[in-house]
Amino acid sequence: MVKCAVVGAKGYTGCELIKLLAQHPQVNLSFLADQDDTPQNACELIANLPQDKQLEIKKFDYDTVVKSCDVIFLALPHTKSIDFVSKLSKEEGKIIIDLSADFRLKDITMYKKWYNTKHTAPALVSEAVYGLPELYRKEVKKATIIANPGCYPTAIILGLSPLLKRGLINTNSVIIDAKTGVSGAGRNATQKNHFCEVYENFQSYKINAHQHMPEIEEIISAVAQKKIAITFVPHLLPILRGILASIYVEKNDSITADTIYGAYEEDFANEPFVRLMTRGQYPQTKNVEGTNYCDIGIYVDNASSRVIIISAIDN
């Protein structure tokens, strides 16, 4: 049994994480904490937790976390993880899994630009591993600081990586039209997630200005071994859960459809959490809801030399 802590347990991310960990046969949820002072039973926030478990969310206490847990999940708002990870990284034998964006960007000038905060632990950024097992399985296994990928990046990077790592496409041609459900934006009530603003509505937001854009660009550039700039237009769907990204790229002329499909089959045939659709089939968000699958469908248009990748995950 692995003794785990969740810090930031009251947000949507924290709650979702607790739900998953509570069902895991090898996880012992030893400490749930939140900056919010009031202790609260996790069952009040999270419907359908196994009731026999003692899952109280307590006030955060550093020493308790360190003493009682081996793996510490941080479900904190962006910029709030840095100090905590810095301190914790000095403890012996802890594994830190940070769900925020604080350790995702290797280029800390980009971090400053997009999150408006100077990064105070650049050495740890270098040490951190981007937690996408399909790309970095070996590194993840040995890592002590794991930067969990954002939702958009997971769907998009998995959708693009087979093409990029083989040099099959024009790296200047990447256009991503992405759509997300509402739960991705967290539990805080704002005008933007008011039922009356979202329901029976659809719109784009943050065109080429979403904070996940540098994360996507950095990872796919590493995969392609070439600097890539993307066009990225997120949209808000009137649904709870799910992301679907429609990705448009130009293939190199000589590349056949079979080569394209073959790349995906080779990379994902043995991946437990990527489901490659049969040709002519495309993902829908409800088929990935409540799962950690990434469903990917591919359309190759020889006339225009375009490849369209449709990639869906729960967000």
Which residues are near its own copies by CB under 8 A? 12, 47-48, 172, 175, 177, 179, 182-183, 187, 189-191, 193-196, 198-205, 207-208, 229, 231, 233, 235, 237-242, 244, 246, 248, 282-291, 293, 299, 301, 303-304, 306, 308, 310
Tokens standing for residue 91: 């403890």
Written as one letter, the residue type at 230 is I
Judged by beta carbon, residue 86 or residue 188, the one nearer its own copies is 188
Tokens standing for residue 210: 């979403």
Closest contact distance (angstroms) between CB of 94 and its own copies is 32
Closest contact distance (angstroms) between CB of 116 and its own copies is 20
Contact 12, 21 (CB under 8 A): no
Catalytic residue among 15, 151, 196, 294: 151
Judged by beta carbon, residue 44 or residue 83, the one nearer its own copies is 44
Closest contact distance (angstroms) between CB of 299 and its own copies is 5
Residue 256 to residues 160, 249, 269, Cα–Cα distance (Å) = 17, 14, 20
Round to whole Å and give the CA distance between 60 and 149.
24
Closest contact distance (angstroms) between CB of 307 and its own copies is 10
Closest contact distance (angstroms) between CB of 294 and its own copies is 13
Closest contact distance (angstroms) between CB of 269 and its own copies is 12
Round to whole Å and give the CA distance between 315 and 313.
6
**Measured on CA atoms in the order 205, 242, 16, 277, is the torsion positive or negative?**
negative
Contact 238, 182 (CB under 8 A): yes
Q: What is the DSSP letter of 188?
A: -
Tokens standing for residue 169: 């496409």
Judged by beta carbon, residue 190 or residue 225, the one nearer its own copies is 190
Compute the C-alpha angle 187/189/192, nearest 5°: 110
Residue 107's CB is within 10 A of a number of other CB atoms, namely 14
Judged by beta carbon, residue 83 or residue 301, the one nearer its own copies is 301
Judged by beta carbon, residue 120 or residue 204, the one nearer its own copies is 204
**Does residue 15 carry a catalytic annotation?**
no
Judged by beta carbon, residue 145 or residue 239, the one nearer its own copies is 239
Round to whole Å and give the CA distance between 128 and 97.
10
Contact 66, 94 (CB under 8 A): yes
Active-site positions read: 151
